[in-house]
Amino acid sequence: MESSIPHHGSCNGGPALIRYTVDHLITMAGDPEVLSPGVVDVDGGRVVWAGAEPDAPRHEGPVERLAGLLMPGFVNTHAHSPMVLLRGAGEGLPVDRWLTEVMWPREGRLSAEDVWWGMTLGAAELLGNGITTSHEHYFFADAAAEAAAAAGLRAVVTAPVLVGADLARFGTWEEQLEGIEDLVDRYAGHDLISVGLGPHAAYSLPEEALRAVVELGRRRGLHIQIHVAEGRHEGDVIAEKYGMTVPAYLEWLGMLDCRVVAAHCVWLTEEDIALFARHEVGVAHCPMSNGKHASGIAPVTDMRAAGIPVGIATDGPSSHDRLDLFEEMRAALRYARLRSGDAGAMTPADVLTMTTREAADVLGRPDLGRLAPGARADMMLIDTAPLGPVIEPSDLITHVVYSGTPALVRSVWVEGRQVVADGRPTTVDVDAARREVATRAARLAAET
């Protein structure tokens, strides 16, 4: 199995050595712990030291004093961010009808320029909400990658493989795979963008297409992102034709010998969970999307107990209207407790881990999701003034999870470069992007 998602590039373009001193620091290098005050040293886009201020090494370079809480940027393990173009469409429909009646007809008319503007606005929202890495899956993946890079967002882009009557403009699955190879070559060595494979789902592609995905993944060392067991009856066709569950079918195809990130995983059996654990599959948990479409509550505590890394994700801003991991953390915590009937089944520290270090582990990226020597300097600063009272240091973690909102995100850095200042993205003209998206969204809806 591939040990990690390919990632490339040095940080030679990052800023020179600088020390950040802050009121409160969470490094996520281990269990969540609040250090007050804290220090992070960054050189060339990488963290070279992070910890409590009294333990900091001698430093003679520039120092920037920060007020609030500094922590790793969120890692979003599953998203279709250009779907800001379709936000609100298909409200009230279950996933199958939402896709076939609303999404795919509109997406079949997308242009590359539509996706570029959708990703630009999506990237601004992600960064403004403290998300520094997003695992993207959308049409015209080249345009999405270009827009993410221009906005300064770190994006792991899995180009989709999907066929259907409404999606003929994207070509055959063979043509789509050829395009992915070109995209892999184009972004080799890029600091912010890495590329993988995005077969939509087992039910939406023929067996030969999925086998071709596996072959390409093995040949080029690419990871695979795929939707799995999102709806209750999603696997019925596979069960009827092959006599196995979707995870077992993916194993039979050889896909689980690659690095796989499985999105949703609501309707897994105990055997499926054991299978994913054995193959070191990572899972992207999308609680708000699953709730919006009444898809169900994923067995997150069972998966984590089996050793499966689970990262919390926003899904797309049409399948759930917000790119907000603060809200997703609260939903994940509450849903886990409701499913188990146990008020201690999941903790604030658990879900904070699942949006940072564990989310990075889902992607096979030990250089993300933590502030530790060698990690990428992807960080966010949160205003702690509204978060209180803090009696014990751990209270701050509880308050961030239960009361945190994107409005509290003051600054964000990706690869050591500041991309959000005073709560606003510095790399995107947000007003212009909103105007473009509104115009293009209206066109896509009118053509339905």
pLDDT of 28 reads: 98
The strand pairing partners of 127, in sequence order, are: none
* Residues 335, 322 within the same domain: yes
Instruction: Say if residue 26 is in the same domain as residue 158.
Output: no
> Is the peptide bond prior to 299 cis by the omega test (within 30 degrees of 0)?
no
Residues 417, 333 share a domain: no
DSSP string covering 394-424: THHHHHHHHH--GGGEEEEEETTEEEEETTE
In a domain, residue 393? The reply is yes
Give the residue from 213, 355, 345 showing the smallest Cα distance to 284: 355
Q: What is the pLDDT of residue 15?
A: 67
The answer to whether residues 242 and 100 belong to one domain is yes
**Domains identified in the chain, total number:** 2
Q: Identify each DSSP E strand in 190-267 by its residue range.
A: 193-199, 224-228, 260-264
Angle between helices 395-403 and 325-340 (to 10 degrees): 100
- pLDDT number for residue 176: 96
Q: How far is Cα 283 from Cα 312, in angstroms, rounded to an integer? A: 9
Domain co-membership, 399 together with 329:
no
**How far, in Å, CA of 228 to CA of 226, rounded?**
6
Residues of the chain with pLDDT under 50: 1-13
Residue carrying structure tokens 């209750």: 232
Question: Mind listing the pLDDT tens digit for each residue in 120-140?
Answer: 999 999 999 999 999 999 999
- Distance, in Å, from the CA atom of 114 to the CA atom of 118, rounded to the nearest integer, reads 6
Read off the CATH number of the domain in which 51 is found. 2.30.40.10
Residue 111 lies in a domain: yes
Inter-residue contact 107 to 346 (CB < 8 Å): no
What pLDDT is recorded for position 16? 83
The parent domain of residue 375 ranges over 18-73+368-425
pTM, rounded to two decimals: 0.96
